[in-house]
Structures are given as structure tokens and as C-alpha cells.
């Protein structure tokens, strides 16, 4: 059984690892102007968000997350959910996740996963997490922000720029090998 201390340590590690990746978007000037443009944009439809992510890996500085295009049929309420897998590593600390993802017509993308983390002194901790991002679009420009906290930023310009965060969405599953390796190390 896991102690409260290891569960808290795992949750803190997960937040730091994910925050370091999710907020890795380039810093953009005139944040208020971007906030105003994002507010004037339309929330993306679920199909548009799915088209952006499905079958792609979001490469992070210290890992990545894969958004499968396959739909799972497990469970009563998971008909529109697709498998999600991710990993993150920072020095000796690492985490991997397995779960699912879904998009809504309000432009929300959510990943629901069980994270397994190696914490201090080699102990393992597991914690569930739901992480969501909001997406809006206007004239081909896609804005994104974490559902809780954070600020809107340009995820993809029109035309796309070299430093757009959306360029880190690459085709294919680039995480399963590392997830399998970390999973084997957690046994």
C-alpha cells in the first residue's frame, strides 16, 4: 500500500513534469492582446480538435504524449474516448501514463490517465489525473490555454510559424517504446 507521503510526492512530481511540458509554449509579447483575440475567437468543434491531435505525438522537452486515433469501446461512457499514453523524465525521476483522451464541441481536449512515477529513493507512486486544454480558432489561428489557470497563447499561427507549439504535434506514436520500458522498470 502506498503511504500518503508517496502519493503526495507522486502528485507533486506529476504536476511539475506536466507543467514543465504543458507550459513550454513560446513566450509571446502583448499577452493582453492575445487574450482579447482569443476571447473573440470561436471555441473549436470536437471534430476539429480531434483532427489536430488524433494519431499524433505531442513532443515535450522531457517526454511526450500520444493521442491515438483509435476509439475504445470499453465502458459505458467511453465510446468517444481514445487511448492516450505519455512519459516524462527529468534526471532520475520519471513518470509514464496510460489512459484516454477526448474532445468536446466547446474546444476542450482532455486526457484522463493513471500516472506511475518513480519518486525519491526509487519508490513508486501512482495517481490519476485529468488534464484539459481549451482551443479557440479565428481565421485559421488556433489559441490554446490550460483549462485551469494559465493564459491564452497562439498554438498555431496562420500561416504556421516555425516556433508554433502545434509543430510539436508529430505524426505517429513516438511514446510507446519508452512507456513500455518505464512500465517494465516499475515492476
- The answer to whether residue 1 sits within a structural domain is no
Establish if 94 belongs to a structural domain.
yes
Q: Is residue 15 part of a domain?
A: no
pLDDT in tens, the chain (187 residues): 333 333 334 443 444 344 444 444 444 455 689 999 999 999 999 999 999 999 999 999 999 999 999 987 655 555 567 999 999 998 888 999 999 999 999 999 999 999 999 876 778 889 999 999 999 999 999 999 999 988 999 999 999 999 999 999 999 999 999 999 998 877 7
- C-alpha distance from residue 112 to each of 43, 61, 135, 181 (Å): 21, 21, 17, 21
Question: What is the total count of domains within the chain?
Answer: 1
Residue 87 has what pLDDT?
Answer: 96
pTM (two decimals): 0.80
Burial (CB count within 10 angstroms: exposed 0-12, middle 13-18, buried 19+), residue 74: exposed
* The pLDDT value given to residue 9: 41
Determine the Cα–Cα distance for residues 111 and 79; give it in Å rounded to an integer.
Answer: 15
Determine the structural domain holding residue 142 and report its residue range: 45-73+81-185
Decide if 103 is inside a domain: yes
113 phi/psi in degrees, rounded to 5: -150, 155
Can the peptide bond before residue 178 be classed as cis, meaning omega within 30 degrees of 0?
A: no
Q: Are 155 and 166 in contact (CB under 8 A)?
A: yes
In angstroms, what CA-CA distances link 44 with 87, 107, 157, 160? 27, 4, 15, 18
| Position 6 in a domain | no
Amino acid at each position: 500500500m502506498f503511504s500518503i507521503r508517496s502519493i503526495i510526492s507522486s502528485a507533486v512530481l506529476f504536476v511539475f513534469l506536466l507543467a514543465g511540458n504543458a507550459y513550454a509554449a513560446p513566450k509571446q509579447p502583448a499577452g493582453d492582446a492575445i487574450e482579447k483575440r482569443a476571447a473573440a475567437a470561436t471555441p473549436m468543434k470536437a471534430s476539429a480538435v480531434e483532427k489536430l491531435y488524433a494519431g499524433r505525438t505531442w513532443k515535450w522537452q522531457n517526454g511526450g504524449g500520444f493521442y491515438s486515433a483509435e476509439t475504445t469501446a470499453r465502458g459505458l461512457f467511453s465510446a468517444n474516448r481514445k487511448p492516450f499514453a505519455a512519459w516524462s523524465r527529468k534526471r532520475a525521476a520519471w513518470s509514464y501514463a496510460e489512459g484516454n483522451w477526448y474532445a468536446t464541441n466547446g474546444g476542450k481536449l482532455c486526457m484522463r490517465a493513471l500516472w506511475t512515477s518513480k519518486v525519491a529513493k526509487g519508490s513508486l507512486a501512482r495517481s490519476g489525473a485529468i488534464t484539459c486544454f481549451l482551443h479557440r480558432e479565428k481565421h485559421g489561428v488556433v489559441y490554446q490555454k490550460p483549462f485551469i489557470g494559465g493564459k491564452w497563447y497562439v498554438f498555431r499561427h496562420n500561416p504556421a510559424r516555425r516556433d508554433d507549439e502545434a509543430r510539436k504535434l508529430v505524426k505517429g506514436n513516438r511514446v510507446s517504446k519508452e512507456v513500455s520500458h518505464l512500465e517494465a522498470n516499475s515492476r
